[in-house]
C-alpha cells in the first residue's frame, strides 16, 4: 500500500498506511501484555531467556515501526509542501 501511495502520490493512502501501522503496534503491545499477564503466551512462559528475547523483539519491532512511520510522514509532508509550492506558482502566473 505504501508503494502504491508513493507512486500515485495519493495522500489518503499515506494516512491509511500510518493508521494500519499504528493499529498493529497497539495490538502487539496489548497482546503481549495481556497474554503475559494471564500466562497464555507460551513463548514468554518457557524460561527467563525466552521472556527477555520476546520483549526485546517487541521493543525492536516497535522502534522500527515508529521509525518507518516517521519516514512515511516525512515523505508525506515533503510531497504536500511540493504540491502547495506548485499551486502557488500556478496561481502566481
The Cα–Cα gap between 18 and 66 comes to 10
Convert the pLDDT of each residue in 23-72 to its tens digit. 999 999 998 888 878 877 666 667 778 878 888 999 999 999 889 888 88
Confidence of residue 88 (pLDDT cuts 50, 70, 90): low
Confidence of residue 92 (pLDDT cuts 50, 70, 90): low
Contact indicator for 20, 68 with CB cutoff of 8 Å: no
- Please report the pLDDT score of residue 79 as a whole number: 80
Q: What's the pTM?
A: 0.69
| 80: pLDDT strictly greater than 90 | no
Nearest alpha-carbon partner for 25 in 72, 60, 77 = 60
Amino acid at each position: 500500500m505504501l508503494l502504491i501511495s508513493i507512486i500515485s502520490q495519493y495522500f489518503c493512502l499515506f494516512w491509511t498506511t500510518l493508521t494500519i501501522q499504528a493499529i498493529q503496534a497497539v495490538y502487539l503491545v496489548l497482546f503481549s501484555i495481556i497474554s503475559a499477564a494471564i500466562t497464555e503466551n507460551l513463548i514468554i512462559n518457557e524460561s527467563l531467556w525466552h521472556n527477555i528475547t520476546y520483549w526485546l523483539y517487541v521493543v525492536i519491532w516497535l522502534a522500527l515501526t515508529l521509525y518507518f512511520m516517521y519516514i512515511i510522514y516525512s515523505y508525506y509532508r515533503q510531497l504536500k509542501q511540493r504540491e502547495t509550492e506548485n499551486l502557488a506558482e500556478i496561481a502566481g502566473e
